[in-house]
């Protein structure tokens, strides 16, 4: 079964960042960057001081399609 793809895109009123494409094969943590986890095009780590390190978790349930 193909993986779900989450696309994170910068909105005009948000903190600027490069568009991200993250596959949801497993739950993905959204959060602020720290020394061991830096922002990249394939993760949901952001260099933003107002975001907590463990801000949210995103996942896709292949059974329900949600």
Q: What is the pTM of this model?
A: 0.81
What burial letters (b/e) apply to 16-42, b meaning 16+ CB within 10 Å?
Answer: eeeebebeeeeebebbbbeeeeeeeee
**Residue 2 confidence (pLDDT) above 80:** no
Average pLDDT taken over every residue of the chain: 91
Q: Residue 21 belongs to what domain range?
A: 1-66
The number of domains in the chain is 1
Tens digit of each residue's pLDDT (9 = 90 or more) over 9-23: 999 998 899 999 999
Q: How far is CA 64 from CA 35, 57, 61, in A?
A: 36, 18, 6
Give me the pLDDT at residue 6, please.
Answer: 95
Give me the pLDDT at residue 1, please.
Answer: 62
CA 28, CA 23: separation in Å to the nearest integer?
8
How confident is the model over 44-59, as a mean pLDDT? 93
Element (H, E) at 45: strand 45-46
């Amino acid at each position: 079964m193909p993986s779900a793809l989450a696309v994170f895109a910068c909105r005009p009123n948000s903190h600027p960042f490069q568009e991200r494409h993250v596959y949801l094969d497993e739950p993905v943590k959204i959060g602020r960057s720290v020394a061991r986890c830096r922002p990249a095009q394939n993760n949901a780590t952001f260099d933003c001081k107002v975001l907590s390190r463990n801000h949210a978790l995103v996942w896709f349930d292949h059974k329900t399609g949600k």
